């Protein structure tokens, strides 16, 4: 069996490794357009800020590990420009063609580029190659970030922590609308003390002027040394537009739970493909590292003849902004309503540890549940201490289909350094019992 994988990121290398491990007689070839495979994109903000000094630390395995130890052929620096599924061949940018028996498309996504991207020191970042080039060009002391999503806030906080003078430009009229301001209010006011925030602002113009970069907004202008656009991603699927592989209106390759596309012997996994929402069962985008790795593994296993099914994800997003652990998963009230649930929510403002135990902080969390079935549907958490484990506990409860009553009786471990005896999670569940 000749297996070809397009893309050497999380999904691609997981697919390649699993396929080879499952069927050692297969020939597996990975084609990667960049210079690196199998590295931690999620570590790039820490490399850019200097917290992680060397980019080499972000590389999980060198190419030699795959070639010499795993028996996988890895070709870097070559871009696939087309796929002909009738003749079962891929076409490379230099005109070369390569046949496949089974194909995995794991080409990920790219950061949306700014129309000012040709100016010096205007960046958007996705790959390690891009990050290395940014570091080489020296982004300076005064940094502007455009976009107040997860990456925008993460970059802003990392740069501010490394003593940069950071401004954040958001088109929204309040910061970080991804989460309920009642949950993240404390984090946002801290954020605004450390980062200059421009709300309801769009970049009108940008120019290199006197060794600075001038950014003109509707009501203000600022001089910075560099600007990072963090305004979202697009799937890397443009090279498939003349193929028979079906994509949705956002350019995501449509796959089923086995990562099969509509074309026989063609699979897709990771950020370039749809994923299943565990609650609604519908296809959506879940551009997250664990999802990509698991989708890749499922694709690789199925290709090699051992059936695996991806049961769907919850879009669980966890991030550290300054010293706050924040995150969300599942459905928020608005989305739950649109999906036909009767959503109710409870917000708890509690403590991360027993009151008397040193080192704790405030902890806010929100749960969303269905009034009729009492099924837990979504959660949000924000705290400087012990926030991440609460989000992951709530995610596990949602993933396994628990009701809010199950959540109340769920036998969480307790000890003062990690939570009060009436944990905010249990309090949230108990509030639903008063209705």
Residue 49 interacts with ligand FAD (CB under 6 A): yes or no: no
Choose between 345 and 383: whose C-beta lies nearer to ligand FAD. Answer: 383
Helix axes 181-194, 150-161, angle to 10 degrees: 40
User: Residues 180, 271, 344, 380: which binds ligand FAD (CB under 6 A)?
Assistant: 271
Residue 9 interacts with ligand FAD (CB under 6 A): yes or no: yes
Stretch that binds ligand FAD, among 5-13, 172-180, 245-253, 324-332 (CB under 6 A): 5-13
Q: State how far Cα 412 lies from the chain centre.
A: 28
Stretch that binds ligand FAD, among 186-194, 255-263, 282-290, 405-413 (CB under 6 A): 282-290
Choose between 44 and 146: whose C-beta lies nearer to ligand FAD. Answer: 44
Of 42, 272, 329, 382, catalytic: 42
- Annotated catalytic residue 329: no
User: Residues 106, 224, 348, 382: which binds ligand FAD (CB under 6 A)?
Assistant: 106
User: Residues 270, 313, 330, 378: which binds ligand FAD (CB under 6 A)?
Assistant: 270
Q: Is the dihedral of CA 277, 394, 324, 38 positive or negative?
A: negative
Stretch that binds ligand FAD, among 54-62, 102-110, 300-308, 363-371 (CB under 6 A): 102-110
Residue 10 interacts with ligand FAD (CB under 6 A): yes or no: yes
**Smallest separation (angstroms) from ligand FAD to the CB of 151:** 6
User: Residues 28, 31, 143, 314: which binds ligand FAD (CB under 6 A)?
Assistant: 31
Residue 86 burial class via C-beta count within 10 angstroms: exposed 0-12, middle 13-18, buried 19 and up: exposed
Per-residue tokens: 126: 């996705």
Choose between 7 and 378: whose C-beta lies nearer to ligand FAD. Answer: 7
Choose between 45 and 419: whose C-beta lies nearer to ligand FAD. Answer: 45
Per-residue tokens: 120: 């010096």
CB 288 within 8 A of CB 409: no
User: Residues 23, 32, 325, 370: which binds ligand FAD (CB under 6 A)?
Assistant: 32
Contacts of 338 (CB under 8 A, 6+ apart): none
Question: How many chain residues are in contact with ligand FAD, going by CB under 6 A?
Answer: 33
CA distances for 284 relative to 65, 271, 274, 406, angstroms: 34, 10, 5, 28
Tokens 């300076």 label which residue?
140
List of E strands, 324-408: 324-330, 343-351, 362-370, 376-383
CA pair distance 306, 302, nearest whole angstrom? 5
Residue 11 interacts with ligand FAD (CB under 6 A): yes or no: yes
Per-residue tokens: 239: 């090279």
- Helix residue ranges per DSSP H, 138-240: 150-161, 181-194
Residue 332 interacts with ligand FAD (CB under 6 A): yes or no: no
Q: Is the dihedral of CA 172, 323, 346, 312 positive or negative?
A: positive
Q: Which letter does DSSP use for residue 244 in this model?
A: S
User: Residues 3, 19, 44, 426: which binds ligand FAD (CB under 6 A)?
Assistant: 44
Residue 15 interacts with ligand FAD (CB under 6 A): yes or no: no
SS (H, E, C) 52-105: CCCHHHHECCCHHHHHHHCCCEEEECCCEEEEECCCCEEEECCCCEEECCEEEE
User: Residues 289, 347, 388, 427: which binds ligand FAD (CB under 6 A)?
Assistant: 289
Residue 325 interacts with ligand FAD (CB under 6 A): yes or no: no
User: Residues 26, 34, 170, 341: which binds ligand FAD (CB under 6 A)?
Assistant: 34
CB 299 within 8 A of CB 267: yes
Spell out, one character per residue from 230 to 259, where the chain touches ligand FAD: x when CB under 6 A holds, - when not: ------x--x--------------------
Q: What is the largest CA-CA distance in the chain?
A: 70
Choose between 159 and 369: whose C-beta lies nearer to ligand FAD. Answer: 159
CA pair distance 120, 111, nearest whole angstrom? 17
User: Residues 124, 127, 201, 352: which binds ligand FAD (CB under 6 A)?
Assistant: 127
Active site residues: 42
Q: What is the contact surface with ligand FAD in residues (CB under 6 A)?
A: 6-12, 31-34, 41-42, 44-45, 79-80, 106-108, 125-127, 151, 236, 239, 270-271, 287-290, 292
């Amino acid at each position: 069996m000749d297996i070809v994988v397009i893309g050497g990121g999380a999904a691609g290398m997981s697919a390649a490794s699993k396929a080879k491990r499952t069927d050692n007689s297969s020939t597996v070839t990975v084609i990667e357009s960049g210079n690196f495979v199998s590295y931690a994109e999620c570590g790039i903000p820490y490399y850019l800020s200097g917290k992680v000094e060397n980019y080499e630390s972000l590389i999980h395995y060198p190419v030699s590990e795959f070639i010499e130890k795993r028996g996988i052929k890895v070709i870097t620096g070559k871009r696939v420009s087309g796929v002909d599924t009738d003749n079962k061949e891929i076409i490379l940018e230099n005109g070369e063609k390569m046949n496949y028996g089974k194909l995995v498309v794991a080409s990920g996504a790219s950061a949306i580029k700014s129309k000012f991207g040709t100016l010096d020191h205007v960046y958007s970042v996705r790959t390690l190659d891009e990050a290395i080039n940014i570091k080489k060009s020296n982004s300076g002391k005064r940094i502007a970030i455009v976009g107040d999503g997860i990456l925008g806030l993460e970059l802003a906080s990392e740069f501010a922590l490394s003593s940069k003078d950071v401004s954040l430009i958001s088109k929204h009229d309040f910061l970080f609308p991804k989460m309920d301001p009642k949950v993240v209010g404390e984090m946002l006011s801290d954020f605004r003390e450390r980062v200059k925030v421009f709300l309801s602002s769009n970049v009108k113009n940008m120019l290199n002027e006197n060794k600075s970069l001038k950014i003109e907004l509707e009501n203000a202008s600022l001089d910075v040394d560099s600007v990072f656009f963090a305004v979202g991603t697009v799937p890397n699927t443009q090279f498939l537009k003349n193929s028979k592989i079906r994509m949705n209106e956002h350019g995501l390759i449509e796959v089923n739970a086995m990562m099969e596309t509509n074309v026989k012997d063609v699979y897709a996994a990771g950020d370039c493909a749809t994923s299943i929402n565990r609650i609604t069962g519908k296809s959506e985008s879940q551009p997250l590292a664990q999802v990509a790795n698991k989708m890749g593994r499922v694709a690789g296993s199925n290709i090699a003849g051992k059936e695996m099914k991806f049961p769907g994800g919850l879009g669980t997003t966890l991030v550290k902004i300054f010293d706050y652990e924040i995150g969300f998963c599942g459905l928020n009230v608005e989305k739950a309503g649109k999906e036909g649930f009767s959503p109710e929510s409870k917000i708890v403002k509690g403590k991360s540890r027993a009151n008397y135990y040193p080192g704790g902080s405030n902890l806010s969390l929100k749960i969303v549940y269905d009034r009729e079935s009492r099924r837990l549907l979504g959660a949000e958490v924000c705290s400087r201490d012990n926030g991440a484990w609460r989000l992951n506990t709530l995610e596990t409860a949602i993933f396994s289909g628990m009701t809010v009553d199950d959540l109340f009786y769920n036998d969480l471990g307790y000890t003062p350094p990690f939570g009060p005896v009436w944990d905010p999670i249990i309090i949230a569940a108990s509030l639903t019992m008063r209705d």
